[in-house]
Amino acid sequence: MKLRHALLPLALALSLPTLATAATPPARHGLSPQEMIYLDRYSAPTLSPDGRVIVFAKRVVNRDTNKATSSLWMRNLVTRDNVPPHQISPDGWNVNSPAFSPDGKTLYFLSGKSGSSQLYAMPVAGGEPRQLSNFAVDVDGYKLSPDGSHVALAFATFPECNADLDCTRKKLADIEARKATGVTFDHLFIRHWDTWSDGRLNRVFSAPLGGSAQLTTASLLSGGIHGDIPSKPFGDLSDFAWSPDGKTVAMSVRQSNGEEPWSTNFDVWLVNADGSNARNLTAANKAWDAGPVFSADGKTLYYRAMKRPGFEADRFALMAMDLTTGKIREIDPQWDRSADGITLSADGGTIYTTASDMGQHPLFAVDVTTGATRKVVGDGSVSSVALAGDTLAISRNSMRSGDVIYTTGTDGHSSLRQITPSAQDMLPNVAWGEYEQFSFTGWNNETVHGYVVKPWNYEAGKKYPVAFLIHGGPQGSFGDGWSYRWNPQTYAGQGYAVVMIDFHGSTGYGQAFTDAISQHWGDRPLEDLQKGWAAALAKYGFLNGDRACALGASYGGFMAYWIAGNWNTPWKCIVAHDGVFDNFMMGYATEELWFSQWENGGTPYDNPEGYQRYNPANFVKNWRSPILVIHGQQDFRIPVEQGIAAFTAAQRRGIESKFLYFPDENHWVLKPQNSLLWHNTVNDWLRVHIGQ
């Protein structure tokens, strides 16, 4: 079995576990959920302008308080490897979002040390942080102007307050003081992801830097655009860009006009740096335009664009707009992958971007002139990219570790230099389940890929019970990457083998492959799962097909319910987390309506047949397998009633079933102790039904 060793071992002093002075080291064992949940996490690689210094964030969970804190660490890249990174933010602070000043002498970051999220700065050479802002509301994000004289700031404010931040604070206080709790809405969104709307929009402001007094006022930049920037719920200021001369800004925004729930029409706007003269540059494209980046001379604007309105999983193409003529050119029309972002080289000739690709998530370099692509960093999943001169800094994960930060050159031939420890470094006594990718002939006689993971204690000739994991999205992938929610190593760590299939609809295999699942949720992917299961059993003799459980979340939860009614014979048990049970009701109850409307071919009232064709609720009479249902109260994407209904159906049918309910979790389970409860409950369910 050829395995992917995605990480380079390197002895590091940073955060390696302190070994107890015991005579006997801990025994080798598989990864436990508790070990995974409490691992230190590394993120936000940030390079100084000359590429000689790297700063990154380290997140640590306090097991007693059940809360996480983040600190900033620095390393000089021109020193020898045996000089480890050192912490630069003060102990006890919770900080994030590092950024260097253009001259490399100052490091900026956000912290809630004062009681609200504010902007701070500290000398790179050493010294105490200084609080730069004391705004009436939280600073949610920021981006420095190219010359460092101004900073763009993201706030959530009431539109009627314009640039008056004190007005927003007073309105929030008035809402909190009201005796009545009822709220009236007259347009959608009324809620999004896990938050009810209170009338505020995310908006971008600008403030000057360099004075001695703390910043308390700022000028509104996005006032001419009635929409959220950053977008909700997961947007950031990668959708905002300063022009090189600082005179204009570009931002990607979707209008907040009551049509947001069924629209994916984000447009790139150009606005003067004083907030005047907002112009929509991409009005002709009714699909998604995102991530603007200016060329060094300010004459070209690069961005990413989808082509089909209403489809959130369309291919993102790389675009170039001549700001003088308005002419638009697609840079990469022959590249059948969807670009995640734009990091422009210093000479403007190359765009660095990540993209899903054949069960992995590499870093690519795209030639701006020809559209030719080359893989810069492969194997595993690259999650973030920073560039300064000829130095690249990346975060990369795999099925063997969460994000590890590396530096390398831009040529694609330089070796990776490991900056932070891997999970293997932090957990030296954990034995990892070996894994490999396999392929088979699936729907439409097309090649489909999957992964098989061996249990940590694998012995040749033995058979092992199987966790059959089904990814969500559905336009997603269970590839060579790390997850803190659905991690195959935690199942391998319990002694199970794992099978994961990237069925039609998965990303990274071409847009046609991704498109194949729309309006076909129950047939084409099910055929792939069935054929993939058969292929895995035929290829890997250690899989015990008589002791297997199917597990999935989101679309994977839908498929778990669908399997329960349409393919229940192989499974000794089923686990469905935050899944779609009644697809027809989902079309009315979910907050992002565009998703259900695209995937089912219209609205529930115009095309009810499209929603009922693959509706798990219609096949409850066929349920046989014991089922564990999990759902969070704050899940507005797939509301909790879907899980309650599924549990009710199983109970009414007399099927062995349990319902794990989280009153304080959304579509994900994020709190450490809740995550531990989730894993323990799932593992107990597997242990009862398929053993170990």
Task: Kindly state the average pLDDT of the residues 418-430.
Answer: 98
Identify the helix (H) or strand (E) that includes residue 515: helix 511-515
| Percent of the chain surpassing pLDDT 70 | 96
What is the rounded (10 degree) CA torsion for 573, 574, 575, 577? -170
pLDDT tens-digit map of 155-198? 999 999 999 999 999 999 999 999 999 999 999 999 999 999 99
Q: Is the dihedral of CA 281, 287, 292, 296 positive or negative?
A: negative
Task: Kindly state the average pLDDT of the residues 424-439.
Answer: 98
pLDDT tens-digit map of 627-648? 999 999 999 999 999 999 999 9
Confidence of residue 80 (pLDDT cuts 50, 70, 90): low
State the span(s) of the chain assigned CATH 2.120.10.30.
100-175+185-394
The per-residue pLDDT for 692 is 83
Residue 305 has pLDDT above 50, yes or no: yes
The per-residue pLDDT for 6 is 32
CATH of 435-690, one of 3.90.550.10, 3.40.50.720, 3.40.50.1820, 1.10.10.10: 3.40.50.1820
Q: What homologous superfamily is domain 100-175+185-394 in, according to CATH?
A: TolB, C-terminal domain (2.120.10.30)
Report the candidate in 92, 98, 86 with the shortest Cα–Cα distance to residue 69. 92
pLDDT tens-digit map of 481-533? 999 999 999 999 999 999 999 999 999 999 999 999 999 999 999 999 999 99
Q: Quickly tell me which residue has 């199983």 as its tokens.
A: 650
The per-residue pLDDT for 5 is 32
pLDDT tens-digit map of 588-616? 999 999 999 999 999 999 999 999 999 99
The 267-272 sheet, strands edge to edge: 240-242, 248-253, 267-272, 279-280
Confidence of residue 413 (pLDDT cuts 50, 70, 90): confident
546 by Cβ neighbours in 10 Å (0-12 / 13-18 / 19+) ranks as exposed
C-alpha distances in Å from residue 578, one per residue of 157, 299, 628, 631, 678: 31, 47, 11, 5, 12
Neighbours of 423 (CB within 10 A): 23
- What is the separation, in whole angstroms, between the first and last Cα of the chain? 23
Residue 4 has pLDDT above 50, yes or no: no
* DSSP of 115-184: SS-EEEEEETTS---EE-B--SS---EEEE-TTSSEEEEEEEE-GGGTT-HHHHHHHHHHHHH-S-----
Confidence of residue 64 (pLDDT cuts 50, 70, 90): confident
pLDDT tens-digit map of 208-266? 999 899 999 999 999 999 999 999 999 999 999 999 999 999 999 999 999 999 999 99
d(CA 642, CA 315): 30
Residue 8 has pLDDT above 70, yes or no: no
d(CA 183, CA 197): 10
Amino acid letter for position 13: A
Residue 115 has pLDDT above 80, yes or no: yes
Q: Quickly tell me which residue has 């509104």 as its tokens.
A: 220
Amino acid letter for position 303: Y
Among the residues of 554-671, which ranges form H helices?
555-566, 583-589, 593-600, 608-612, 640-652
pLDDT tens-digit map of 540-596? 999 999 999 999 999 999 999 999 999 999 999 999 999 999 999 999 999 999 999
- Decide: 648 and 597 in contact? Cβ < 8 Å: no
The per-residue pLDDT for 412 is 72
State the span(s) of the chain assigned CATH 3.40.50.1820.
435-690
The 150-157 sheet, strands edge to edge: 141-144, 150-157, 201-208, 219-220
Residue 2 has pLDDT above 80, yes or no: no
Q: What is the mean pLDDT of the chain?
A: 95
3-state secondary structure (DSSP) of residue 445: helix
Query: 0.75 cut: is pTM over it?
Result: yes
Query: Residue 72: how many CA atoms within 13 Å on its side-chain side?
Result: 30
Confidence of residue 18 (pLDDT cuts 50, 70, 90): very low
Task: Kindly state the average pLDDT of the residues 666-671.
Answer: 97
Task: Kindly state the average pLDDT of the residues 15-26.
Answer: 46
The DSSP secondary-structure symbol of 471 reads: -
The per-residue pLDDT for 15 is 41
The per-residue pLDDT for 66 is 86
Residue 19 has pLDDT above 50, yes or no: no
Total number of residues shown for the chain = 692
Neighbours of 433 (CB within 10 A): 25
Confidence of residue 81 (pLDDT cuts 50, 70, 90): low
d(CA 304, CA 538): 42
Structure tokens at 203: 């908006």
Asked if the bond preceding 189 is cis, omega within 30° of 0, the reply is: yes
d(CA 237, CA 343): 14
C-alpha distances in Å from residue 267, one per residue of 75, 280, 323, 368, 600: 39, 7, 15, 22, 25
The 67-76 sheet, strands edge to edge: 41-47, 53-62, 67-76, 86-87
| Percent of the chain surpassing pLDDT 90 | 93
Residue 21 has pLDDT above 80, yes or no: no
Confidence of residue 83 (pLDDT cuts 50, 70, 90): confident
C-alpha distances in Å from residue 273, one per residue of 160, 241, 247, 253, 653: 21, 11, 5, 17, 63
